[in-house]
Amino acid sequence: MKRAAEIASTHNTITLEALNQFTALLKKEFLLETRQQHTLYGVMLYIASTVFVIYLTIDSPDADTWNSLFWITQLFICINAVAKSFLQEARGRMLYYYSITSPVVFILSKLSYNVLLMLAMNLVNLLLYTAFMGNPTESFLQFLFIGLLGSMGLGLVFTMLAAIASKAMQQASLMAILGFPLIIPQLLLLVRLSKTAFSEVFRDGVPQQLVLLLVSLDILIVFLAVILYPFLWKD
C-alpha cells in the first residue's frame, strides 16, 4: 500500500518535471524570438511582399480565387516560418538539449510553439489580405475560426517535416518536397470547409464533419510525432 503510494508520487514528480521542462523550453522559444527579432520580422516581411505581389498581379479576385490564394499563401508562409525552428538549432545546442530533457517534451514544445506562431501569422496574413484585396467572406468569424484551425494543422505537419529535413542537406527545399504530398488532403479539406464562410450551402452536419476530420488529423500528427521523434533525436 505504501509502495503504491510511493510509485504514484514518483509518477507525479515525473509528470511535473516534464511539465516544467516543457514550459521552460517554450519560454526559451519566445525569448529567442524576442532577442532575434530579425527572423520574426523576416517572416512578416515575407507575408507582406507575397500579398503585395498577389495584389498587383490580380485585380479583384472572386471569392473562390481569394480563398485558394489565401491558403496557398498560408502554406508558403508556414514552410518559411516553421523551417527555422530546427535549422537554427546548432549541433552543439541539440547535444545540450539531449542532456537535459526528453525527446517527447522537446518535440511537444516545438509543436506548440510553431502552432502559436502559425496562429499569429494567420492573423497577419488575413489582415493583409483584407486590407489589399477586400474580404469576400459572408461570415468573417467563421473564416477566422477555420483559418486558425487550418494554420494549426499546417504548423504541426511542417514541424515534423522540419525535424526530418534538418537531418539532411538542402533543408529548406527538401521540406517543401517532403511536405507537399502530405499536406494536399488537409488543404483540400480546408478550402472546402472555408466555403461555408462564403455562404455556400452545405448539407446538414457536413461542416461539423470536416472540422472533426481536421481535428482528428491533427491528433494523428501529434501522436505520430511523439512516437517517431525519439528516433530522429539521437544522432
Residues that bind other proteins (CB under 8 A): 157, 160, 164-165, 167-170, 174, 177-178, 180-182, 184-185, 188-189, 192, 213, 217, 220-221, 224, 228, 231-232, 235
Look up residue 163 and give its three cell numbers: 525535424
Are the beta carbons of 89 and 230 closer than 8 angstroms? no
**CB closer to other proteins, 100 vs 220:** 220
Q: How many CB atoms are closer than 10 A to CB 192?
A: 15
Look up residue 182 and give its three cell numbers: 502530405
Look up residue 194 and give its three cell numbers: 472555408
Cα separation, 61 vs 58, whole angstroms: 6
Closest CA to 162 of 218, 216, 83: 83
**CB closer to other proteins, 51 vs 111:** 111
**CB closer to other proteins, 50 vs 196:** 196
How near is the Cβ of 160 to other proteins at its closest, in Å?
6
State the Cα angle at 111 between 105 and 115, rounded to 5°: 145
How near is the Cβ of 169 to other proteins at its closest, in Å?
5
Residue type, position 131, single letter: A
How near is the Cβ of 220 to other proteins at its closest, in Å?
7
Cα separation, 176 vs 218, whole angstroms: 19
How near is the Cβ of 161 to other proteins at its closest, in Å?
8
How near is the Cβ of 135 to other proteins at its closest, in Å?
25
Cα separation, 198 vs 143, whole angstroms: 8
**CB closer to other proteins, 40 vs 64:** 64
**CB closer to other proteins, 47 vs 210:** 210
